[in-house]
Structure 1
Amino acid sequence: MQHFLLSATARTLSLKAVFRMTEERAYSTFCELRWPETEGEAVCPRCGCTEAYHISTRRKFKCVACHHQFSVTSGTIFASRKMSFGDLLAAIVIFVNGAKGIAALQLSRDLDCQYKTAFVLTHKLREAMAQEQADRELNGIVEIDGGYFGGYVKPENNKADRKDRRLSFNRSGKRQCVVIMRERGGKSLPFIVRNESDAVPYVRDHVGTLATIHADEGTGWDALHAGWDTHRVNHSVRFMDKGVCTNQAESFFSRLRRMEVGTHHHIAGPYLFAYAGEASWREDNRRVDNGSQAMMVASAAMEAKVSRTWKGYWQRSG
């Protein structure tokens, strides 16, 4: 049977088609994504009035009711953008086409923009993608697992000077645990904790009380038995035991590890949650064609508010 990604069904939007678009057509696409209820006709973000003057020379609108001037990206995560709408749309298509993510350096070369621009843009897209995960509740059979990232300690040159890096006091203190909760046949939700055992409060907030939990033999999951119907599988013996497994959770970590090793090379630190959220979104939508994926990301970006984290990032960090 042919893999979905190899089929023609998976390819519904090409980069070639985006670059053939006129700037006006790309602009109209963003208007339709921002105001789908009015088929792209401007709606004032301040008072909600549906009547506005079109200032065509500046691609801005002026509300008839409150006289507020706004653009299609005002109040969104793309507010104050300098890239053309065609380049923004192309960036989104390139971003979703990367099965293991897309490096900011590669995106900067593809779009002929600064690395700083590509870095902030990709993180804004990740932030927009994560909006739908905020209040998610998982039910049915939920697989839970944790994986550790970051905190690498380089071994000493001489064997006699090397320390056992498996011991906590020989680590750098920067290691973090990504915990994934994945509903079979449904959605997933990642979060970051210091140790796997710290994850139980997050599970309590986002997993329904009638759900059935599958986890491995890690002692951090022992507390789950008190609140849910919990089944465990001992991976040192077998990967599946009478239908109990964490294969879907392992699939998420496989993608995240490939993103780390093959694309981004370093995804730990304060941005680990953003990359984990991206991997979760890609796993949830792995059977969705790339055209629909691009529109999903673009719609999420137009619905997301101005980013407190990424607005003016390089002015603060530079």
Structure 2
Amino acid sequence: MSVLSAPHFHNEEAAILHLESILWPNGANCPHCGSVERLNKLKGKSVRPGLWKCYACRKQFTVKVGTVFESSHVPVHKWLQAAFLMASSKKGISAHQIHRTLEVQYNTAWFMAHRLREAMRVLNIEPMGGEGSIVEADETFVGGLEKNKHARDRKHQGRGAVGKEAVFSLVERGGRVRSTHVPSVSAETLGKVMREQLYTDTHLMTDDARQYIPLGKHFMMHESVNHSIGEYVRGGTHTNTIEGYFSIFKRGMKGVYQHCNAKHLKRYLCEFDFRYNERDTTDAERMITALQGIKGKRLTYRA
């Protein structure tokens, strides 16, 4: 039997109950006043599924209130299908594919995908690394025109970056990745990110890019490999972990999404970071983790 044969992917009442079990593991609570008492699930032929009333503040609500699903007219079971597709697709799934699979309008599919990426965004980020931890740091570029691939770009300090957006990532070996859309890859820009997101007693590994030379002095140890002379591994010194992450990210951005507006790049990074960080879980577990992130977030812009 297919995973997508589960009732909550097809039946609206089952979908709402499933979402309630994820967001309200200890029972319903009112999103308006926070009360967990004097709540009643309304019933009747004229009542829409999943409608509750709080008799403390006298307001009605559903499990979607206070989440990225609020004010959406898309059925909850289709939200769950979209969440599963995005959580289980290693290199992502396009809004056009969601539009065709779920039989919704393209702009609806686009908005759904961005809301789910917002759900994947991690709040209250703690620094990475620390004593005994190895963190690899590197940057890559996405977008741009083919005709500019040999042009030199002073801002990004190299060839092939003209018109591209810079992405800086940190990955802890055996742990998590964290990616940031940065305006440039200068020592000043990357240094600010590294000081905010890494503990100083981290063992840092990078390539031989010159901006990392002064930055490495802020950490307990800094080792690098010299890619310019063909050195990619020297004992345990390498950046293969972050390069592996970038290979998945760039295949997804080029092969699946093809074009990304710069103002939305941060949300795509959340999506790829999320799947990498949840790589040791099943697709169903990854979907549940993504849905747990819909609370307390709203997106109001439209396609």
| Shorter-normalised TM range | 0.7 to 0.9
Q: Which residue of 1 aligns with 2:93?
A: 102
1:32 is aligned to 2:21: yes
Q: Please, which moves more after superposition, 18-27 or 268-277?
A: 18-27
In the TM superposition, residue 242 of structure 1 has moved relative to its aligned partner by 2.1
- Count of aligned pairs between the two proteins: 288
1:52 is aligned to 2:45: no
1:272 is aligned to 2:265: yes
In 2, Cα distance between the equivalents of 1:286 and 1:93? Answer: 14
2:222 maps to a residue whose letter is T
- Equivalent residue in structure 2 for 1:121, among 102, 105, 112: 112
Q: Which residue of 1 aligns with 2:134?
A: 141
In 2, Cα distance between the equivalents of 1:282 and 1:266? Answer: 20
In 1, Cα distance between the equivalents of 2:105 and 2:66? Answer: 24
Q: Let me know the Cα RMSD of the aligned residues.
A: 2.3
Q: Which residue of 1 aligns with 2:238?
A: 245
Q: Percent same amino acid at aligned positions?
A: 28
Give the secondary-structure state (helix, strand or coil) at the position aligned to 1:230. strand
1:66 is aligned to 2:57: yes
1:72 maps to a residue whose letter is V
Contact 1:182–1:249 (CA under 8 A) maintained in structure 2:
yes
Q: Which residue of 2 aligns with 1:233?
A: 225
In 1, Cα distance between the equivalents of 2:248 and 2:296? Answer: 26
In the TM superposition, residue 255 of structure 1 has moved relative to its aligned partner by 0.7
Contact 2:121–2:270 (CA under 8 A) maintained in structure 1:
yes
Residue by residue, what CA displacement relative to the aligned partner does 1:189-216 show, whole Å, maximum 9, x if unpaired? 1001122222110100010111110000
Q: Please, which moves more after superposition, 193-202 or 169-178?
A: 169-178
In the TM superposition, residue 20 of structure 1 has moved relative to its aligned partner by 6.4
In 2, Cα distance between the equivalents of 1:114 and 1:252? Answer: 32
Residue by residue, what CA displacement relative to the aligned partner does 1:196-239 show, whole Å, maximum 9, x if unpaired? 22211010001011111000000121122221121111123311
In the TM superposition, residue 188 of structure 1 has moved relative to its aligned partner by 1.2
Contact 1:18–1:89 (CA under 8 A) maintained in structure 2:
no
Q: Which residue of 1 aligns with 2:143?
A: 150
In 2, Cα distance between the equivalents of 1:283 and 1:47? Answer: 36
Residue by residue, what CA displacement relative to the aligned partner does 1:90-117 show, whole Å, maximum 9, x if unpaired? 1111111211100000000000000101
In 2, Cα distance between the equivalents of 1:298 and 1:43? Answer: 17
Q: Which residue of 2 aligns with 1:4?
A: none
TM-score, normalised on structure 2? 0.88
In 2, Cα distance between the equivalents of 1:34 and 1:136? Answer: 23
Unaligned runs of 5+ in 2: none
1:44 maps to a residue whose letter is C
Give the secondary-structure state (helix, strand or coil) at the position aligned to 1:248. helix
Mark the CA change 1:105 to 1:250 in structure 2 (over 3 Å): closer, same or farther: same
Q: Which residue of 2 aligns with 1:212?
A: 203
In 2, Cα distance between the equivalents of 1:171 and 1:258? Answer: 17
In the TM superposition, residue 167 of structure 1 has moved relative to its aligned partner by 4.5
Contact 1:126–1:274 (CA under 8 A) maintained in structure 2:
yes
Alignment of 1:141-220 (within 5 A): 141-152=134-145, 154=147, 165-168=151-154, 174-197=163-186, 198-220=189-211
Give the secondary-structure state (helix, strand or coil) at the position aligned to 1:176. strand
Name the structure where helix makes up a greater proportion of residues: 1
In 2, Cα distance between the equivalents of 1:200 and 1:24? Answer: 50
Residue by residue, what CA displacement relative to the aligned partner does 1:159-214 show, whole Å, maximum 9, x if unpaired? xxxx9523449989642210100011111110011222221101000101111100
Q: Which residue of 2 aligns with 1:92?
A: 83
In 1, Cα distance between the equivalents of 2:152 and 2:66? Answer: 47
